[in-house]
Chain A
Amino acid sequence: MAPVPGVRERVAAFVAHEYGKVVAAVTLATRDRDRAEDAVQDALVAALSSDTPPDNVAAWVTVTAINHVRMAHRRSGAQARAYAKLPPEPEQMDDATGQVVDSLTVHDAVAALPDGQQQIVTLYYYLDTPVADIAQALGVTTGTVKTQLHRARSALGSTLGKEAP
């Protein structure tokens, strides 16, 4: 094997700067770190093996990996359905400070969103992906992304906002 420097550099840069965040983002959306890591690697290999790699590799890999994990969940049982039906926990946080929302609640809040909104908020809030790049990665218009983001923000606000100071 004689790897071409360009690809190796892209892989090395991704591993150094984005890999950890992308795995964490996929984990946040799927709550399955083991599968997230495998799916991110699979998606990265697919992205960089393609004749037309995506412009924003991190966004593409995130979306694809989330889909892969979800498909694995669907195949393996009703786990995904259970997540989808999971109601937002109403009054879980009652701690004295009200400043900290624990990670479980954030995971639950994200899991309660529709699939498309989960991807959008993960890309937007976790990976700081610009709206235009999200739109390209999902193959939708920026208007759609903004609309879904607005809805997701409202839903997250009502779920997590109760803990706001």
Chain B
Amino acid sequence: MTDDDELRRLFQDAEPAQQPADPDALVDSLMARISAATGSADAPETADAPETADAPAASRWRILGLYGAGVVAAILLAVTLYACGAREEALPLVSPSPTATPSATPSATPSPSVTPSPSASAVSTPTPSPSVTSTPESEPVPPEPDAPAPADPAPPDPAPEPEPAPPADESAPRIRLTSTIDDIWEVNDMCDPQTLLIRATIVDDVGVTSAGIRYVAGSAAPAQRQLVRGVGDEFTATVGPIEAGSVAEQLQPTNVEVELWARDEAMNVATLRVTVPVRSAWACAPG
């Protein structure tokens, strides 16, 4: 039974392969999706010839294409300048500049219009977009904006106030993310970073008593960390390291929601959610 051929037979008997009913339609549908995914008609060409032996040829063609476009644009610019110059020369007849002959000088500089279009460059910046969602849970619209407290008779340092009940603190702390969110990798030997420092400012009318983060990265056990107070109202905590195999083994990162929370003395709690893209260690391919 443990014979490999027998196992192969069992596997293939258990789940016989079925060909698609309409292969041509399936191919068309997949091609349409590939074209849509690559965003342009010629994009699949790049996907078809990546880091393999024909990659240099593909990039050579791409460079030639760019040069070609540049030359065409330069010629157009030269012709336009020449036409303008000729018109100027023909019109005034007053003081024709002797140096106004539009020779080949304009075409010597490649036109800036051949650089990638602004729309393409805008699209090609895959910013992770932290998607911050703040939900102060028991915040009933603060009655007045934060006064800078010059006339406040209370001491300026509100932290160590063990008084039992501050009169009417009904506003939750306010959390604001101050660090950028970048992709992190699951634990592996080669790809970094594997942790992310979350930095946030947390302010409260009376005082923040505790704060932390919590998240669940794929199949890993839920994690929670304390947000440690730094200078002033700044707090920091670290996301990761995340055990390899926790998120899906795929090239694209898996979004992990990290919740920041803060509590004040009156037990008002505020939360803020950020999305941290986590890359599978499996995607960190050697070579």
A4 and B45 CA atoms in complex are apart in Å by: 6
What's the dominant secondary structure at chain B's contact region? helix
Contact of B18 among A4, A23, A52 (CB under 8 A): A23
- Once A2-B41, A8-B31 are accepted as A-B contacts, the answer to whether A161 and B2 lie under 8 Å apart by CB is yes
Nearest A-chain residue to B4, judged by Cβ: A125
B190 CB to closest chain A CB (Å) equals 10
B30 to A45, Cβ gap below 8 A? yes
Nearest B-chain residue to A140, judged by Cβ: B282
Of B47-55, B202-210, B260-268, which binds chain A? B47-55
- Say yes or no: is A82 at the interface (Cβ < 8 Å to chain B): no
- Residue-wise interface mask of A (63-95) relative to B, using a CB-CB cutoff of 8 A (1 in contact, 0 not): 110011011001000000000000000000000
- Once A67-B249, A101-B10, A160-B10 are accepted as A-B contacts, the answer to whether A7 and B47 lie under 8 Å apart by CB is yes
A interface, size bucket: 35 or more
B2 to A24, Cβ gap below 8 A? no
Q: Tell me which residues across on chain B come within 8 A of A139, comparing CB atoms.
A: 249, 281-286
Contact of A160 among B1, B19, B26, B41 (CB under 8 A): B1
B16 to A4, Cβ gap below 8 A? no
B250 to A45, Cβ gap below 8 A? no
B11 to A41, Cβ gap below 8 A? no
B249 to A63, Cβ gap below 8 A? yes
Question: Which B residues have a C-beta under 8 Å from some C-beta of A?
Answer: 1-2, 4, 7-8, 10-20, 23, 26-27, 29-35, 37-38, 41-51, 219, 245, 248-252, 281-286
Given contacts A28-B15, A49-B43, 16 further A-B contacts (CB under 8 A): A3-B31, A4-B42, A11-B34, A15-B26, A15-B30, A24-B18, A28-B14, A45-B34, A52-B50, A64-B249, A101-B10, A106-B10, A107-B15, A110-B11, A138-B282, A154-B2
